[in-house]
Amino acid sequence: MIPLEVLETARKELTDWRSSGMSVLEVSHRGKDFVECAAEAEAAFRRVLGVPDNYKVLFLQGGASAQFEFIPMNLAAPCDTAAYINTGQWSKKAIAAAKRQGLESIIVADEAASSYTTVPAAGSFEVPADAKYLHYTPNETIGGVEFGYVPQTSVPLVADFSSTIASRPIDVSKFGVIYAGAQKNLGPAGLTVVVVRDDLLGTARPETPAVFNWKTQAEADSMLNTPPTFGIYLLGLILRWIEETGGLTAMADRNLAKANALYKAIDSSDFYSNPVAADARSWMNIPFILADSSLDQLFLSEAKEAGLVNLKGHRSVGGMRASIYNAMPIAGVECLIDFMNDFEKEHA
Ligand SMILES: *Cc1c(COP(=O)(O)O)cnc(C)c1O
């Protein structure tokens, strides 16, 4: 979801942006107005996330999936070693990309034994000292599995924050690289945010495409070529909405209250269940299954009639999944819980 207030602002401004007589969709990315807009979005991102001065914030394209490939290309030579934690489907894609890029990727922890319903205990894995970085997925969007801690390691920590960025305060200084497709919590599809510590710039392989070379893009303020202008504009509006609604501390309170309410409803029922270990439950993506999966289709169609959509679990796992990103109000979660209770009464 994108906050309704933000969509309404965008609609109001769509045909005449900053009194230019033009839409933000029409202006040049090199024009003064857009350059200012991008600088404001970056400044807001730095304020909201608390990004220290020795980090660059890049606005790129290609999604988090492109970064799966460009992380190895920017940080390691072929045949170098990198460490990966495997907590599920997005981790696996990142690992596969590292292999494609020639890395010796060492899986330092793999949660296969729990069918990816857990995260490794803090301190339970060892990262080889020669690893160029340690990669992990703080929130596995499909499995609904989330780290409750930031792994400690002496090598640069690289984190795929696609589905949990800006859901709560984080200490950016613990990370070497944070990256996220913006479309889940920060904006529309088409914008990818990469936050990278200065000392990790300049190690890209020579064949790295220039538009995906973090150093080249940092030097060009992410405007080596045309950036995803509408995404950057909307990111700025969404960050302003986060600030106006109390910043990430208030966001965390709301997100935790939403997640707790839904987990409580699931746990207090024999009809619904969530398989994830208590200390690894996601605040953002809550998968659940019905005791009788033959009712899945009926659940989805009655939910749709009640105005509740996008509840079908990822095609690879089935069941249901409630993605309750930043912009989902608590009322949306309460509405889902009421519906689930009614459905259970009728069909259990
Ligand atoms: C959605 C998602 C991705 C893929 O993002 P794209 O921008 O579509 O490439 C990667 N990682 C995680 C954790 C995601 O949730």
DSSP states along 105-128: EEEEEEGGGGTS---PPTT-S---
Question: How far is CA 64 from its chain centroid?
Answer: 9
User: Over pLDDT 70: what percentage of the chain?
Assistant: 100
CA 179 to chain centre: 8
Asked which of 222, 244, 266 is the last residue of a domain, the reply is 244
- So what's the pLDDT on residue 348? 86
Rg (CA), the chain: 21
The per-residue pLDDT for 318 is 86
How many angstroms separate the alpha carbon of residue 89 from the centre of ligand 1? 10
- Tell me, using a 6 A CB cutoff, whether residue 146 lines ligand 1: no
> pLDDT tens digit string along 138-183?
999 999 999 999 999 999 999 999 999 999 999 999 999 999 999 9
CA dihedral sign of residues 342, 345, 346, 348: positive
Q: Which of 219, 244, 269 is the last residue of a domain?
A: 244
206 and 306 part of one domain: no
Q: Is 63 in the pocket of ligand 1 (CB under 6 A)?
A: yes
Give dist(CA 187, CA 237) in Å, integer.
Answer: 9
Same domain? 334 vs 217: no
Each residue's pLDDT tens digit, 6-43: 999 999 999 999 999 999 999 999 999 999 999 999 99
Atom of ligand 1 nearest to the CA of 66: 9
Token output for 341: 């209770």
| Catalytic residue (one of 56, 132, 184, 215) | 184
Residue 212 CB–ligand 1 contact under 6 Å: no
Q: Among 83-87, 231-235, 315-319, which stretch is predicted with the lowest mean pLDDT?
A: 315-319
Other CB atoms closer than 10 Å to residue 278's CB: what's the count? 10
Do residue 238 and residue 325 come from a single domain? no
Q: What is the Cα–Cα distance from 216 to 124, expressed in whole angstroms?
A: 37
**CA geometry: angle at 195 spanning 141 and 127, to 5°?**
70
Total structural domains in the chain?
2
Confidence band for 316, pLDDT divided at 50, 70 and 90: confident
320: CATH? 3.90.1150.10
Q: Going by CA atoms, what residue is nearest to atom 1 of ligand 1?
A: 162
> Percentage of residues in the chain with pLDDT exceeding 90?
98
Position 266, amino acid:
I
Q: How confident is the model at residue 317 (pLDDT cuts 50, 70, 90)?
A: confident
Residue 315 scores a pLDDT above 90: no
For the question of residue 241 being annotated catalytic, the response is no
The reply to whether 46 and 167 lie within a common domain is yes
Residue 113 phi, psi dihedral angles, 5° rounding: -60, -30
> Do residues 56 and 184 share a domain?
yes
17, 90, 214, 283: which one is catalytic? Answer: 90
Q: Which of 193, 224, 244 is the last residue of a domain?
A: 244
Give the number of other Cβ atoms within 10 Å of residue 72's Cβ. 28
What is the 68 CA–ligand 1 centroid distance (Å)? 10
Write out the two tokens for 343.
Answer: 């459905």
Q: Does 104 lie in the same domain as 253? A: no
- Tell me the CATH number at 139: 3.40.640.10
Q: What pLDDT does residue 115 have?
A: 96
What residues contact residue 21 under an 8 Å CB cut-off, 6+ apart?
A: none
Q: Give residue 184 CA to ligand 1 midpoint distance, Å.
A: 8
Most distant CA atoms of the chain, gap in Å: 63
Q: Is 90 a catalytic residue?
A: yes
Active-site residue among 56, 160, 214, 283? 160
The closest residue, in CA terms, to atom 13 on ligand 1 is 162
Cα-flanking dihedrals φ and ψ of residue 154, to 5°? -85, -10
One domain, residues 51 and 83: yes
Give Cα separations from 281 to 176, 198, 203, 205 (angstroms). Answer: 25, 33, 36, 37
* 3 state SS of 291: coil
Query: Is residue 182 within 8 Å of 67, Cβ to Cβ?
Result: no
Q: Atom of ligand 1 at shortest distance to CA of 63?
A: 7
Q: How does the average pLDDT of the chain come out, rounded?
A: 97
In 3D, which of 267, 279, 338 has the Cα closest to residue 306?
Answer: 338
141 lines ligand 1 (CB under 6 A): yes
Q: Give mean pLDDT, residues 195-218.
A: 97
Sheet holding 320-323, edge to edge: 272-273, 285-290, 320-323
Question: Could you confirm whether 17 is annotated as catalytic?
Answer: no
For tokens 């590292």, the residue is 98
Q: For residue 298, which of 265, 343, 331, 330 has the smallest C-alpha distance?
A: 343
Same domain, 200 and 332: no
Both 240 and 253 in one domain: the answer is no
Q: 312 has which bridge partners?
A: 320
Range of the domain at 302: 247-347
- 101-120 pLDDT, tens digit per residue, is 999 989 999 999 999 999 99
**So what's the pLDDT on residue 259?**
98
**Is the pTM here over 0.95, yes or no?**
yes
pLDDT of 274 > 90? The answer is yes
Per-residue model confidence (pLDDT) at position 64: 98
Q: In this structure, which residue's CA is closest to atom 5 in ligand 1?
A: 64
